[in-house]
A and B are shown apart, each in its own frame.
Chain A
Amino acid sequence: MSGEIAFNPDDKYNAFLTTCRKAPHGTGKLAGVAVAVKDNISTLNIETTCASKILKGYIPPYDAHAVGLLKSEGAAIVGKTNMDEFGMGTTTENSGFGPTLNPCDTTRVPGGSSGGSAAAVAAGMVRMALGTDTGGSIRCPAAFCGIVGLKPSYGRVSRYGLIAYSNSLEQIGPMGKTVTDVSTLMGVIAGYDRHDTSSLNKPYNHTPKADIKGLRIGIPQEYFGKGVDSQVAAVVKKAIGRLEELGATTVPCSIPSMEYALAAYYVTCTCEASSNLARFDGVRYGPAADTKKSWHDAYQEVRSAAFGPEVRRRIMLGTFALSSGYYGKYYAKAQIARENIKADFNRIFADVDVIAGPTMPTIAFKLKEKSDPLSMYLADILTVPANLAGIPAISVPCGKSEGMPVGLQIMGRMFDDERVVDVAYAYEQAVN
């Protein structure tokens, strides 16, 4: 039966930027299920800001393809969740509308950039949520808040209606309390969409299976090396031991190109951002540009006032990296590094079925702990390789360190999303 659900959560974590007090729903696989949507995904007639003051008041005239699919399966879109402005951050502190707090410990960040979606699920305000993952933005907050989050293989979920930050890296993906919920949501949003030129006809029709006997799991030394907190590493190793008890075999391996992954990632995403964010000029939407001034002065005035510092920093970094004389030094080299990472994954996946390691090198940071941009970027080291290679990766809660959740990350071969879901499911079933 279609109808309407009331949604009046006590949002003490600032997880939502917009809530829909009465959310209509239809019939289908998600009939009447409250789903939260990250605020960089367009929702018809519901304000969509990317947590940026430059889109305050923007009302999309259409639904993102993934949102349309949710509605067609009966889901109730109950609100838009907080995030780092345009997805640029690892803490949700870069929101133009105040940070989200981690429901497990309100003195800590929920991770980012899909921090609002993760907090909403972790706090029980919604059963599931959509996030987006450009360099770990689904998996990081899933790990920090103790929920499940999947970054699908690039191309399986349409990006139509996702307000672009870095097109070649980002994917919309499902977040939920359980692997089953994440799998169900993935089944609804995956599939071909002719409005997205990078969309592939690879629908997801899968029910998680817990049998992992004979599975070969690669354990890259880089995921347990320098910069990874020893307690976090110990929790994850214990979880991998659990997978061995279930019949899997572990195989030591190495991803030498990871040394360049973070630099390659930040060069690529800032270059793409500098181009993508040129559209925000206060003419078609956003705060009014002063039409009496010259365009250069008018745009500069709007953009310096309405973009936060991290967004301006990334636009400038990308502009610099693409400027005459530097292209070969930065962008071209980053693309070579990206190819080398893909080659490393292909080599390892010739011998193993999945790769496992921690999702994040530490537990959730304290609020304001990562005030220096470079130190925040370094926290993404274990998540960016999957985005550079386009492969699927899931984060599933695997225990605690200092009382805070730790995420086990499972990466799979390109388009092997079903298998990473199965491994996460096998672990979840074994420990619960």
Chain B
Amino acid sequence: MVTEKDVQHIAELADVGVSSGELGTFTHQFNAIIEYFDILDRVEGKCPVTRDLFNILREDEIEPSLPQEEVLRNAPAKEDGFIKAPRVM
């Protein structure tokens, strides 16, 4: 059982934002879904630790890359050939 406070906290961790108007509905739906997920408590068996997997390696070859203007084309805010991002400090 998760509370509205839990859903608010998860929304903040995931940076998706939940408005006070949506909180009740989201919490209700969230509980119905994770209650359904509880069926997994009954699953038995072991997750295989090893598999027939191997690393696929290749030579580090230099290839043409996209020109700067192509890379910046979709960025909504840019300055002096850089992408502008919000403050992190």
Contacts and interface: CB of A to CB of B under 8 A. Distances in A.
A303 B62 CA distance: 36
Contacts of B41: 329, 333
A337 B85 CA distance: 41
B43 A336 contact: yes
Contact of A259 (B14, B32, B39): B39
Interface stretch (A23-31, A203-211, A233-241, A260-268): A260-268
Contacts of B15: 278, 281, 296, 299-300, 303
A278 B15 CA distance: 9
Interface residues of A, number: 64
A334 B38 CA distance: 11
A47 to B, nearest CB: 10
Contacts of A335: 47
Contact of B74 (A285, A292, A337): A285
B43 A337 contact: yes
Contact of A287 (B2, B18, B76, B83): B76
A330 B43 CA distance: 11
A204 B74 CA distance: 36
A258 B71 CA distance: 45
Nearest to A321: B37
B78 to A, nearest CB: 10
A313 B16 CA distance: 9
Contact of B85 (A62, A266, A289): A289
A303 B19 CA distance: 12
Contacts of B29: 313, 372-374
Contacts of A309: 22, 26
A288 B18 CA distance: 20
A339 to B, nearest CB: 6
Interface in A236-283: 259-260, 262-264, 266-267, 274, 278, 281-283
Interface string B34-51: 101101111111111000
A304 B18 CA distance: 7
Contacts of A300: 12, 15-17
A274 B14 contact: yes
Contact of A194 (B22, B46, B58): B58
Contact of A377 (B2, B33, B47, B58): B33
A287 B74 CA distance: 10
Contacts of A296: 12, 15
Nearest to A262: B36
Residue in B26, B44, B47 with the greatest tally of chain A CB atoms within 10 Å: B47
A61 B43 contact: no
Contact of B10 (A58, A284, A320, A333): A320
A281 B74 CA distance: 13
B86 A289 contact: yes
B60 to A, nearest CB: 13
A323 B37 contact: no
B16 A307 contact: yes
Contact of B14 (A260, A292, A316): A316
Contact of A61 (B40, B73, B86): B73
Given A263-B39, A340-B45, A373 B33 contact: yes
Contacts of B39: 259-260, 263
Given A266-B33, A316-B26, A319-B14, A283 B19 contact: no
A332 interface: yes
Contact of A339 (B12, B47, B71): B47
A320 B31 CA distance: 12
Contact of A283 (B17, B32, B34, B83): B83
Contacts of B17: 300-301, 303-304, 312
Contacts of A317: 30, 33-34
Nearest to B39: A263
A226 interface: no
B43 A320 contact: no
25 contacts: A57-B74, A59-B73, A61-B73, A274-B14, A281-B15, A283-B85, A284-B74, A284-B75, A285-B75, A291-B77, A291-B85, A300-B17, A303-B15, A303-B17, A312-B14, A313-B30, A316-B10, A317-B34, A332-B47, A336-B44, A336-B47, A372-B32, A374-B29, A374-B33, A374-B36
Top 6 A-B residue pairs of the complex, sorted by shortest distance between their CB atoms: A304-B17, A288-B76, A285-B74, A298-B86, A333-B40, A295-B86
Interface of B: 2, 7, 10-19, 22, 26, 29-30, 32-34, 36-37, 39-48, 56, 58, 66, 70-71, 73-77, 83-88
